[in-house]
Amino acid sequence: MADLSTLKRLEAHPRIAEWQYPPSPLMQDFLQKVLSGFDFPGYEVRIHVIEIDGGIVGFISHTHWRQGAFYLVTCGWSLLPECWGQGIMSRSLRQLFDSFFADQVDYVFADYFHGNHRCQRLLQKLGFAPHVIPWLERCRKLWATRHLVWLHRMYLDRARWLELRGQKSSAQEKG
């Protein structure tokens, strides 16, 4: 079970912190509300923790909302550096995306800071493609976070996910 101090400890790791917005009281308050199951009007925000031997080594946050007829999810994630390079995050994300798309999600989005090649590669391997970020949203984020960084956004749609998963299972059957 995640608590705020565990998530703060993870996010404070220098190799994770360089790719996240700086901690702010607003963000702490938001995380605390998420952890206590608070309902944000129009949004469902959840945190999925990754545990190894009973210890929390990472987490994936996901926000679900609807835009017109579309069911959308935005995700962010972090993993302790000692666990990188073992496929832990890609396996966790695949499981989560299977459940999202089985649950009729249309699109999953993820943002990352310019220069975060590890995250970019992870997204590409999962089948994500580049998406635009409107200028108004860029300006709002800049104002809210006071953090001057160039953000990239990628997206994954259900058809692409099912196609990739189908290819993987038919390759497994053959192999």
Ligand X SMILES: CC(C)(COP(=O)(O)OP(=O)(O)OC[C@H]1O[C@@H](n2cnc3c(N)ncnc32)[C@H](O)[C@@H]1OP(=O)(O)O)[C@@H](O)C(=O)NCCC(=O)NCCS
Q: Which residues sit at the interface with ligand X, rule CB under 6 A?
A: 16, 19, 76-79, 84-90, 112, 116, 118-119, 121-122
Q: How many helices and strands, by DSSP H and E, does the chain display?
A: 7, 6
In whole angstroms, what is the distance from residue 57 CA to residue 61 CA?
Answer: 14
In whole angstroms, the minimum distance from the beta carbon of 61 to ligand X comes to: 9
Nearer to ligand X, 53 or 104 (CB): 53
Nearer to ligand X, 45 or 122 (CB): 122
- In the chain, beta strands by DSSP E: 43-52, 55-67, 70-79, 107-113, 129-131, 151-157
Residue 22 CA: distances (Å) to CA of 14, 19, 91, 146: 11, 9, 27, 9
In whole angstroms, the minimum distance from the beta carbon of 68 to ligand X comes to: 26
In whole angstroms, the minimum distance from the beta carbon of 46 to ligand X comes to: 15
Nearer to ligand X, 104 or 119 (CB): 119
In whole angstroms, the minimum distance from the beta carbon of 87 to ligand X comes to: 3
Nearer to ligand X, 105 or 119 (CB): 119
Nearer to ligand X, 69 or 148 (CB): 148
Buried b (16+ CB within 10 A) or exposed e, 8-46: eebbeeeebeebbbeeeeebeeebeebbeeeeeeeeebe
Residue of closest CB approach to ligand X? 87
In whole angstroms, the minimum distance from the beta carbon of 129 to ligand X comes to: 17
